[in-house]
Structures are given as structure tokens and as C-alpha cells.
Amino acid sequence: SQQGEEDPQALSIQEGENATMNCSYKTSINNLQWYRQNSGRGLVHLILIRSNEREKHSGRLRVTLDTSKKSSSLLITASRAADTASYFCATLNRNTGNQFYFGTGTSLTVIP
Amino acid sequence: GAGVSQSPSNKVTEKGKDVELRCDPISGHTALYWYRQRLGQGLEFLIYFQGNSAPDKSGLPSDRFSAERTGESVSTLTIQRTQQEDSAVYLCASSLAGSTYNSPLHFGNGTRLTVT
């Protein structure tokens, strides 16, 4: 399976702390994306990092990519209660088609 | 509409009945995806459309599942003779991707299917 895996599966932190989630995948990729899912809702795109990029920032989000280790991390700084959600990584490998493969997700709880 | 729309939002059906799930993608999005998400789990890829064609049907779990897309717009996912293990949230997403592989997916809120 090409599916990625996030760890930890669940993370609970205090408001104001930083949250780090990791994603590992199995095949070569063209890009890796992070998505957020609030309970009972669809996924919302957060950030995309291309295979030739190593780090990317967007507001309080910082994503790193290490293609040699086939891994990525998502850092949320100064977390807020509203960041409580599940976070998924998704990978695209053009050689095997245009489907995006999603990981199993990290459930983040930010305690006010 | 501004986003991806799915209907119905909830569907309860009896085992053995057929169901149709509908997805209206964002206008102009050539790529359309169906995923299945069981409770507390990740997303399972089902099928992908580029325009009206489905180059990859490998994720469909069985021949009870089928999908079509018309007018490079609306897509319908049909599950025949539903089983209890079909209970899940079915998510649809669309994307500008085609030649642009760096376009993100835009998701609908899903259809929650419960087979009793």
C-alpha cells in the first residue's frame, strides 16, 4: 500500500504549546499535502510541499519534508483550542496515477 | 456554489437495498475523487475521474460498487445490495489537477451511510 502513516495517532496538548505530527510514506512522491478534518466534516487543505522542497511555512504551520527518509512533519506553533481536529498527510505519485493516498491521521486535542 | 456539495448528507438503508450518492464538484474542476472513511479511520481511495473517464477503478471494494461522471461535472457513486460493512462516510473531492499535479483537493462534507 502507498498509504502514509501519521504518528502519533493521538496527541493532547495545552493551549499555547506547539504540536508536532509526523508522516511516513512508502513510495516516491511528487508532492505531499497536509489536511485537517473537524469532526463530522470534510477535509480542508492546509499546505502542500513539493518533492524538491525541504521546508515550507504558512502562518502558524511549518512543514518539513525528507525524501531520503520518506517522511514529513507538521508543526503547529502556539496552538489554540480551535486547532483541535484530525490531521492527515496525503501523497501523490504521478507514476501510479493521479490518486492521492492518505495516511491514518493524527487526532489533536488542544486543551484550553 | 462555492464548494463541493454532496447529497444526501445522511442515508440510512436496509441491508440488500441499493443506494446512490451524489457529488457536485467545484465548477471547472476536471478531477474528481471518491473516498470512504470508516469511523475513526483514515481515507480509503475508491475511484478517480479525469473528466468523465475513470482511469483508475482499483479502489472499488467489489463489483457492488460503481461510479459514473457526466458532463465533467456531477458524479454518482452507486452501491448495490448494501451490506453492513458498507457503513461509512463517503467523501467526494475535486481538483483542478490534470496537467497541474500540485493542485489541492477540495472536499465535500460527505454522505454518512448507515446500513441496518
Is residue B101 very low, low, confident or very high in pLDDT (cuts 50, 70, 90)? low
Residue B35 near residue B21, CB atoms below 8 Å? no
Q: Write the CATH number for B14.
A: 2.60.40.10
Give the pLDDT of residue A104: 86
Nearest CA of chain A to the CA of B10: how many Å?
Answer: 11
A contacts of B107 (beta carbons < 8 Å): 35, 42-44
E-strand ranges in B1-116 read: 5-7, 10-13, 19-24, 31-37, 43-50, 53-56, 65-69, 75-79, 88-95, 106-107, 111-115
- Domain range enclosing B58: 5-115
Q: Is A51 exposed, middle or buried (0-12, 13-18, 19+ CB in 10 A)?
A: middle
User: How large is the average pLDDT for residues B79-95?
Assistant: 96
Smallest CA–CA distance from B109 into chain A, residue: A42
Count of domains in chain B?
A: 1
B contacts of A42 (beta carbons < 8 Å): 4, 91, 93, 107-110
Closest CA to A102 of A21, A3, A1: A3
Segments of chain A with pLDDT less than 50: 1-2
pLDDT tens string A76-108: 999 999 999 999 999 877 666 667 888 889 999
* A5-111 CATH fold: Immunoglobulin-like (2.60.40)
Do the Cβ atoms of A97 and B91 come within 8 Å? Answer: no
Give the pLDDT of residue B75: 97
